[in-house]
Structure 1
């Protein structure tokens, strides 16, 4: 027998279609009307796309009542209803290059030729609003609603900074309806949520939600106190003045009228250029001051737009390319604390595992107890989790609408969870509690050992986080092979082979749980199944031997002295040349070293004044660790004297270390961060936030070829080939 059906549609398909339609309608109501979204954009898109697929397979399911044929959601009952002068449509979505190519091919087929040029712009994640100006005067502001009828929010719109109450210019239309997005800038959103929590009110889940909730305040005075902004991106009606002929011309005209328009758009002529724009903002997604979730592509010419027309819900001449979601909803199961190498005790969220930005996440930092309070999250909450590319996952806030009363507040512990020492603030006014047991706390030792093995310290690849945990926190009855850094270079195979340990998360320091057993994961890292030394053990001992010959600056970094990172360690080692010279230098002598200063000098003296710190130096010295560099070579031409550089990304002909060495050998200073005082930023492949900072500050940027010009011909020649962002 075949599958049961009704009217030719399988019963299972009918049932799933009805279920999805109900889910989509409920989600829309909560998102557009209540401003209390309970599902993430990714989950909603999944439901909606499944509905589209069902209707494509079974066309009879596509009725006028289907959510796929509607725009937005019903209007709320809290505001007067107004009819839009022209229907406000939604946009179809593209999720990859194939979708974009299919849209462009379909538009070309309908237009009987290439419909370009195209206008590409950022898709702001805000609230769609239509403004009506009659004889240049703002008459009405309304939300999109269901596309035909919206909520009248005119008093609130009038409070938005940048929205003119009267248009300026000589050629103003007698009647114009403009469309745009109302949003709250990202930085202002964070401040707003903190204020709400301080006032005992529920925080917003995301910037879009905060903009929608603010615009729907019944009291415009409240709206006026919040940082709403608007960007206008379209026109529904235009009467009584010279009409623009293209979308790009509209932006010029609207800007002349005094309306807020974006300059982050581009007119392009091909699909390749569209894709280039999309890829650029995929990488620079967080450069704009507002949240974006994709790029909108429009046929620029209005006559071609009219030829292409619209479906029941969306124009055929435009499409939204949506980036992979960076926000999802998940359950906050618990808040635990981890201890870092400086003793800082950090709360971490433990969540139901969820995929976001291409990776599975189940832990996220909450920084300190004050941040937990500011975010307004409770254990048991459904929370909004954000992960932007490679950025550490962050909880944005709770989904308050889904609370059922079982949630509970987090209470910061009073004692270290790893060694039991009473926690304390290092000094008055600190935000972070710390464990003061620096010498004996196994968590701090673990973190310092792992830090000492980093590439910019002793560069021991075999001493990863699992190995550091095994050495410092083995399972009983084994005793730690490393009780302080002093033990590191005295390790033997006999010590390593019997060790078993719990696997810990390197971002949080918390034990990992085996999903199959529900127990903590345990490994025998340094031995094989036959109880013999594993390759891990042999590799570690070999690399420890090699690490004894690292230059002095790397040894300094490995000691975890506060404020002594690679740039400062290079300068200190370069001038002092030996560990003894540094240990015996006075605070005044240290402060006289370029880039050190009184505060760092005091920190260095404090560190070396501790007995067990000096024991580390002497034990390492006895084991053969290099404690002095060769005498400083005679200085060559100091062509870079007085200039400061930052090196970021991957260069073909230099490592970052060798690039730094060649710069300092010519008198230059290499810094770890970009500031207005930076002379040049040397940029390789996969440069990250330092490149972005250089762009924002207008610091000259050199690629590898420009870097070679700098070394060979000096700074003047380099300036001629550098890219200076504010002059582009």
Structure 2
């Protein structure tokens, strides 16, 4: 290594150590040691060195916290040890029963517990190998989470390398991603100033920020990580005491609660709970209870687990604050996916520290179950101090009226559907409803739909706000606004020319892309492809959707009170003859085409010049029909997209996740956790040679 390169490497290492120390002082100790300007100068120097010497960039470099380009999706990853849930207790008796069961393992002796606040955020699992952060995953279902490593790297108080010279070979560190109340208010102020929708509460803000596809957005959110536990660990002996384990995490550079402590017996738990309940309102981080864990390792081992929760831990939740008031009326709000949510308009009442005049009623099933009516006096609570909800009826009103689901969308007038067996009702005007407009347009223009380059989320948001776009068909009229577009900030002659050229090019598409672009609920890329191949034309698909509605009406007339009989009448005909289309998907397709406004938009798109070739409908049996494949890793002889296309040409279904229904997992170089999951489930694995041989065997050489 040349002398200059050695100096650069030494300086980069020194800067990384210095910046890491400053980060810890600022974000963990809340005691900054340098000014913002000095910190920024050091960071810029490191960025310059790494730009000139890319080989010096390390996974734990402070420069890696700025975020990466958008990801299309999150990879499913199995936790090395499951992230277990906690049992809950809601009163002193339930906490006392937990203590009694725990003491039974030690002949009734009093136990010491590790007590800590229960943060109201979103759980995160960190995987460190030889002291360096290698992966961060969401809790998911407790066994499998989503790989969100680029997003986690942007959390300023989260160490990218453990502060020790003797790290474990492997360790999982668990904790909660939170957003302090003060930072939450600052974030919402900034969002509102930028014309964006503010978050409802810190927990939602933390969860939404952590699961951004573009980690550069996550990097702008003031998230914090609070460690609370350890999963699998290899290569180091941890203390048996949970409190000592948390102290170890703090020594390694993690933030832990300032209020964690060891308490003795049930009395200690009860006193700790009372103290935290009193202190709760003054904390900057929201908590919704306390967690008590048996501190001693031997006792924890003796107690073991039940179902998916440890017997040695429990969460003592704070009670929701409740009061009563009058339900004056009900309004139905339409979400971005078309879901209608009934909202109670209440006589204003003070509860949970705020005045509440609106509360959620969840859905029509909940309204029916609780028998809530307009004019009733109802019990209102702020569950978890966050979302006001109507809990139950306190007193029936003298002239109470039944709450009815509107037949038409309150935003656009399209008819409202409610698929049998589902609690949620939805507006079917996906292409025309103002409440769904932004998401529908973003989906329509996305890469796997009509793939309109230059018409991204930001541009669509602007065009909708300025009323240039109301439906997908309006995209093809943007050329009429060329002069106005050129004059916009951030635009110019070249960029507008490129955008309009991309819009023009998108008119030539395929039937499966067009079906996918329509945004029909439950119809993804694979389903759109199967529908295109089965029906060949959009007219044929629409005709079958109309026929489905007629058969459904007939079935409901024949069997008004027998859902199973109605399902038998509908099965394996028309739409449900397409592989993978069940009653739920068929109903979504039929409802979409049954809405005249959607049909009008499709006609406008065709009139604007959007076209596609007719698909040859191959009725001959395909050799891999009915078989499901998952692809993981990279292959030398063909790309993953090419492999998927060949499989689909032979009738196979290609999905992104492994399940018991998967027939084969094709394993290339550098496979992820999908291979491990396939092995656990006993799914057949194919290497590249075996896969190519399989294709050749079935006529795809």
Tell me, yes or no, whether TM beats 0.5.
Answer: no
TM-score, normalising length: structure 1: 0.43
Q: From the two aligned structures, give the one with the greater helix fraction.
A: 2
| Higher Cα Rg, which structure | 1
TM-score, normalising length: structure 2: 0.44
